[in-house]
Amino acid sequence: MITHSQPEFVVERDQDLCLRCKVCVNQCAYDTHSYDPEEDVIVNKDENCVNCQRCVTFCPSKAIEIKQNPSKFKENFHWTQEAVSGIKLQSETGGIILTGMGCNKPEFTYWDRLLLNASQVTNPSIDPLREPMELITYLGSKPNKLKFENSDISLETKFSPQIRLETPILFSAISYGAVSFNVHQSLARAANEVGTLFNTGEGGLDRRLYKHGKNAIVQVASGRFGVKPDYLNAGAAIEIKIGQGAKPGIGGHLPGEKVEQDISKTRMIPVGTDALSPAPQHDIYSIEDLRQLIFALKEATDYTKPVSVKIAAVHNSAAISSGMVRAGADIIALDGVRGSTGAAPRIIRDNVGIPIELAIASVDQRLRDEGIRNKASIIVGGGIRSSADVTKAIALGADAVYIATAALVSIGCTICQKCYTGKCPWGIATTDPYLVKRINPDIATRRLVNLLRGWNNEIKEIMGGMGINAIESVRGNRLSLRGVGLSERELKVLGIKLAGE
């Protein structure tokens, strides 16, 4: 069968600049470039190129450019390039179209239609370079009131376990196996250095990283990979993963070829076997089952750690979240439609779930309407690109945000969306021993730390402008937001006013 598909990209090499050094040949994991010794030229297989920019970055003479293939099907606003090439691909394979990373459709982003406030005249803005600006955030269930013994003002009220963060930004779940040990280690070390948490994802925690446990949220997902008493007790918090934004309602599949020795040990499965995560947790078919798992985990860790429950933001997230809080969750983690993944059916990624902005607004408001907002913290994720997105998420009602794509971008990822191939040329979403060496944990840690420092400084600038010197005064402060280009109904769900109002 001759393929009807066309290459998505074309590689343009300036033969005058090319040194024939073969860096591109060695760097490409998809065999796009090859050296022809007879002609002494490097030639391309355009159909292999994923536009990851690895060769472009490393070419010493800057001889390479990757371009969108100018040869396209006839332009049609309904039958888009993606729709037509998808059909062609499926008619040749009969399979589900896979993709990586988060939804890339233009429609679902509200962040860019939200604007932040600043102080003018009636209250002063504050200069964060000269005055303290506080980002410290505590996650965990809070009481509605405090009681003190009168005599010496000592606290009578017992608190549920709390986690202190130096910044309201955490690294979201990225499982060991989906990414390499070097990546996991870098996330752990960066979280430690900055004073925040990383999330192990569903693949367990390598024994060598247990020393970073106090900076880890250990995840318990439907496959229960690596879940054992040591693991639960190693973390600062436990997260039950019900779903993720990139593939709500869908399970996971780590191919056997990625399961090498260390991953096999950590995940507690034989080398080379596929790691299948069922779509649901098979001991949670209802909310009361969730309560049992929450308390089983609390029992296992002697009530010393907050338990988070992570769901994909879906149509009735508000009601589900309310149930989760009543079931005993100390933290609600919401992952929006733009949430990322190592592998998901494209049709699910781009069509299931709701934008995180709307989910935060409705969940926060519902918990307040029911008087239980203090009982749980809210962490949100799914396409957070900048410190402005972080601040807007917090102003809408989140306690903290999860970032994963932004973190991976900081260490090399270019969002080519081919993670599911396991051949990440940047050495991130791969366990190939040749490729994983491309992540140097020292350098990757420094990049992650720099990113968080930069964002922290920017959040402080934004807060200072608003005349606010503690992050808790931004949290849920929707009057600090205005919307542009939004319908009355959208403004209502977001709980904000139109700019100019």
Partner 1 sequence: MGLSWNNNRYGEDKVSDACGLFGMMDTSGKRFSAKDPVKAMINMHDRGNGLGAGFAVYGIYPEYKQYYALHIMYMDKIAKANTEQFLNDHFKVVFEEEIPTREANVWNPPILWRYFVEPKKPSISTISLDDYVVDQVMRINTETGKSFVFSSGKDMGVFKGVGYPEDIADFFRLDEYEGHLWTCHSRFPTNTPGWWGGAHPFNILDWTVVHNGELSSYGINKRYLEMFGYKCTMQTDTEVMAYTFDLLMRKQKLPIELVSKVLAPPLWIEIEEMPSKKRETYESLRQCYGSLLMNGPFAVIVAHKGEMIGLSDRIKLRPFTAGVKGDILYLSSEQAAIRAVSPNLDKVWNPKGGEPVVGRLKEILFEEMAVKKVATTI
C-alpha 491 chain-centroid distance: 26
Whole-number minimum distance, CB 213 to partner 1, in Å?
A: 23
Whole-number minimum distance, CB 326 to partner 1, in Å?
A: 16
Which has the closest alpha carbon to 441: 206, 170, 214, 173? 206
Specify the residue, 336 or 476, whose C-beta has the smaller distance to partner 1: 476
| Three-state DSSP string of 367-401 | HHHCCCHHHCEEEEECCCCCHHHHHHHHHHCCCEE
Phi first, then psi: what are they for 233, rounded to 5°? -80, -15
Q: For residue 446, what are the contacts with CB-CB under 8 A and spacing of at least 6?
A: none
Whole-number minimum distance, CB 10 to partner 1, in Å?
A: 51
Specify the residue, 270 or 371, whose C-beta has the smaller distance to partner 1: 371
Give the C-alpha separation, 13 to 36, whole Å.
14
Structure tokens at 456: 């922290």
Whole-number minimum distance, CB 184 to partner 1, in Å?
A: 30
Specify the residue, 85 or 117, whose C-beta has the smaller distance to partner 1: 117
Whole-number minimum distance, CB 322 to partner 1, in Å?
A: 14
Structure tokens at 70: 């100018």
Whole-number minimum distance, CB 481 to partner 1, in Å?
A: 9
Give the C-alpha separation, 109 to 356, whole Å.
9
Specify the residue, 184 or 375, whose C-beta has the smaller distance to partner 1: 375
Structure tokens at 75: 């332009």
In sequence order, which ranges of 100-174 are alpha helices (DSSP H)?
Answer: none
In the block, tokens 């910044």 appear at 167
Specify the residue, 342 or 464, whose C-beta has the smaller distance to partner 1: 464
- 413: region left, alpha or beta (phi > 0 left; psi from -120 to 50 alpha): beta
Specify the residue, 394 or 436, whose C-beta has the smaller distance to partner 1: 394
Whole-number minimum distance, CB 455 to partner 1, in Å?
A: 19
Element (H, E) at 10: strand 9-13
Whole-number minimum distance, CB 375 to partner 1, in Å?
A: 11
Residues that bind partner 1 (CB under 8 A): 119, 121-124, 126, 131-132, 134, 136, 138, 142-146, 148, 150, 152-155, 157, 159, 162, 368, 371, 373-374, 466-470, 472-480, 497, 501
Specify the residue, 103 or 197, whose C-beta has the smaller distance to partner 1: 197
Specify the residue, 173 or 376, whose C-beta has the smaller distance to partner 1: 376
Whole-number minimum distance, CB 131 to partner 1, in Å?
A: 7
Structure tokens at 333: 């983690």
CA-based R_g, the chain, Å? 24
Specify the residue, 159 or 285, whose C-beta has the smaller distance to partner 1: 159
Q: How many CA atoms lie within 13 A of 88 on its CB side?
A: 15
Specify the residue, 76 or 144, whose C-beta has the smaller distance to partner 1: 144
Give the C-alpha separation, 71 to 46, whole Å.
12
Q: How many CA atoms lie within 13 A of 276 on its CB side?
A: 6
Which has the closest alpha carbon to 173: 301, 341, 24? 341
| Three-state DSSP string of 342-361 | CCEEHHHHCCCCCCHHHHHH
Helix, strand, coil percentages for the chain (3-state, nearest 5): 35, 15, 45
Q: Which of helix, strand or coil describes residue 369?
A: helix
Please answer whether residues 361 and 494 qualify as being in contact, where contact means their C-beta atoms are separated by less than 8 angstroms: yes
Specify the residue, 133 or 329, whose C-beta has the smaller distance to partner 1: 133
Whole-number minimum distance, CB 192 to partner 1, in Å?
A: 19
Polymer length in residues for the chain: 501
Whole-number minimum distance, CB 331 to partner 1, in Å?
A: 14
